[in-house]
Amino acid sequence: MFYAVNTPLFTIIAASVVKKMKPDLLIEYLYRHTQIPIMIICSDKKADIIVNSIHNGAVHYMYTPVDEELLAAHVNLYLRRYIEPETEETPHQIVVGNLKLWLTRRQVFVEDKQIKLTAKQYDILLYLVENHGRVLSYEKIYENNWDEPYLGLEDDKKVVFHIHKIQQKLQDPSLIENERNFGYCFRGIPE
């Protein structure tokens, strides 16, 4: 049986692993569709389950029974890492005109209004911004943002779908230009 606590900043999953359940699928889903760290509390101590959980997006794995002080310390540790203060040495945002990407918070703002992107949309937008001015093929975008081999037209459609959603949410399609039958280019230049 799974118990999930999902706050705006942190997801904690407590699981008593039952053979029929696939905890790695839940973890992978949360990792791909949320922008918050995932901590697992579980009675299972098998190395392969722990490794799979971490590979699928968990940031930490604890065994039951859990000491409350230890749990609080780990949660606070990951919250500090997730919401670390910005310093001059480590810029935590990329600004392009009225578009702002907060890197440590994985948030996007347009004219100081937060734009809700899925984790996949955020990753794609960040990849495009980091490669501003470069035309990136559908294949390159796909390979950088999906953990599976590129298979051609069907994967091109996934890229087009996600970028179309990003353009709609940003309300400025000119930031990401389509290079017909090839890929996309982020035309804005970071300040």
Encoded amino acid at 184, one letter: Y
SS3 101: strand
Range of the domain at 180: 93-186
Residue 88 lies in a domain: no
Which of 51, 82, 113 is the C-terminal boundary of a domain?
82
Measure the CA–CA gap between 135 and 113, rounded to whole angstroms. Answer: 28
Residue (of 69, 98, 102) closest to 85 by Cα position: 102
pTM equals 0.55
Residue (of 99, 148, 142, 149) closest to 123 by Cα position: 142
Distance in angstroms between the alpha carbons of the first and the last residue of the chain: 49
What confidence score (pLDDT) does residue 8 get? 44
CATH number of the domain residue 18 falls in: 3.40.50.2300
What pLDDT, in 10s, does the model give residues 109-165? 888 888 898 889 999 999 999 888 889 999 999 998 888 888 988 888 999 999 999
Same domain, 71 and 107: no
Measure the CA–CA gap between 2 and 55, rounded to whole angstroms. Answer: 19
CATH number of the domain residue 157 falls in: 1.10.10.10
Same domain, 13 and 71: yes
